Amino acid sequence: MPSDYAVPSVGRAMKILELLARSQRGLTLSDISRRLALPKSSTHVLIKTLEATGYLKNSQLSGRFCFGLKLVSLSKMALENLDLREQARPFLRDLMVQSGLTVHLAILEGAEAVIIEKAEAPGMLRLATWVGRRLDANSSAVGKALLAFSGDDICGHSLASRPMARNNRNTISSPERLARELKKVREHGYSFEDEEGEIGFRCIGAPVFDSADVAVAAISIAGATSQIPNERVTKLAALVKVVARHISERLGSGLDLPESGGATARTRMRKAVRQLV
């Protein structure tokens, strides 16, 4: 990145975190200031900011600083998402091939669904989506699938975090309508986004569960209305549900499952898919 865009204080904060990562017992303010050749006053401000936001914690007995729970939690989530993507990737590619549509894998963050993996069908209409893009949970198939199966507490907290987005006349933006929609999602096991995010496009999604039966992610297929006409929705929804179930089985089997187990799961999935298409 060009130096014109670098923020010195952010860079120094990162250096503090990197230094503490190499320390086994933590470091005092004086230790950090000396090792990084930073003024003690600015080091104090940075450390106190990191401590106030939960990224560092201070031992009252030794005066040493080490990683706080916030940083540990972020690391855990990053590893879990990496594992989730690794486990899901071959299934997403299979779904892309079988449906001929673009496939997304997303997680829920507040009132938004964040895309963490994408499999794009070659030669098809390219969608304006990418890994890292945030979608309004109330107007996306992955978002509605996640809200429907996340439990009342999480769903309520997510929706209360900000006013519901309204992208166009089709967007479900009232709590009452959304509650009815999520009830349908739970009953049918899949979500359907009918031009609610963008006119001319549709998506079909389904939840992905971990070994504790928690909806940790959702997958979806997306395409133009001509690619997902009304008469094709039922079969495509069944296809998405099959793939989501097999990703869930893969996660529930544990991350130490050998590759042969994954191959077997994909073989069973493909057999089920052939009965649908």
Annotated domain spans of the chain: 3-67, 74-274
Average pLDDT score over residue span 133-145: 94
Separation of alpha carbons 89 and 19, rounded Å? 34
Q: Which amino acid is at 167?
A: N
Q: According to CATH, what is the number of the domain 3-67?
A: 1.10.10.10
Element (H, E) at 69: helix 69-99
Residue 272 confidence (pLDDT): 53
Percentage with pLDDT > 70 across the chain: 82
Residue 128 pLDDT grade (very low, low, confident, very high; cuts 50, 70, 90): confident
- Position 270 scores a pLDDT of 56
Instruction: Round to whole Å and give the CA distance between 266 and 259.
Output: 11
Coil, helix or strand for 138?
A: helix
Of residues 159 and 119, more confidently modeled: 119
DSSP per residue over 204-245, as a string? EEEEEE-TTS-EEEEEEEEEETTTS-HHHHHHHHHHHHHHHH
Q: How far apart are CA 203 and CA 189, in angstroms?
A: 14
Q: What is the pLDDT of residues 44-98, one digit of tens each?
A: 999 999 999 888 999 888 899 998 877 766 766 666 677 889 889 999 999 999 9
pLDDT of residue 3: 56
What is the C-alpha separation between 25 and 7, in angstroms, rounded?
29
Res 151 pLDDT > 70: yes
74-274 fold: Beta-Lactamase (3.30.450)
Query: E strand or H helix at 192, and its extent?
Result: strand 191-194
> What is the pTM assigned to this prediction?
0.67
Q: What is the mean pLDDT of the chain?
A: 85
> How large is the average pLDDT for residues 264-277?
53
Q: Residues 145, 205: contact at Cβ < 8 Å?
A: yes
Q: Give the helix/strand (H/E) hosting 201.
A: strand 201-209
CA 49 to chain centre: 27
Helix (H, G, I), strand (E, B) or coil at 102: strand
Do 74-274 and 3-67 fall under one CATH topology?
Answer: no
DSSP code of residue 4: G
Q: State the number of CA atoms in the 13 A half-sphere of 197 facing the CB.
A: 26
pLDDT digits (tens, 9 = 90+) for 99-119: 999 999 999 988 899 999 999
Look at residue 173 in the predicted model and tell me its pLDDT. 87
Q: Contact, 185 vs 145, CB < 8 A?
A: yes
pLDDT in the model for residue 253: 39
Directed axis angle between helix 40-52 and helix 8-21, to 10°? Answer: 80
* pLDDT tens-place string over residues 190-214: 999 999 999 999 999 999 998 888 8
pLDDT for the residue 226: 94
Q: Which residue has the higher pLDDT, 231 or 124?
A: 231
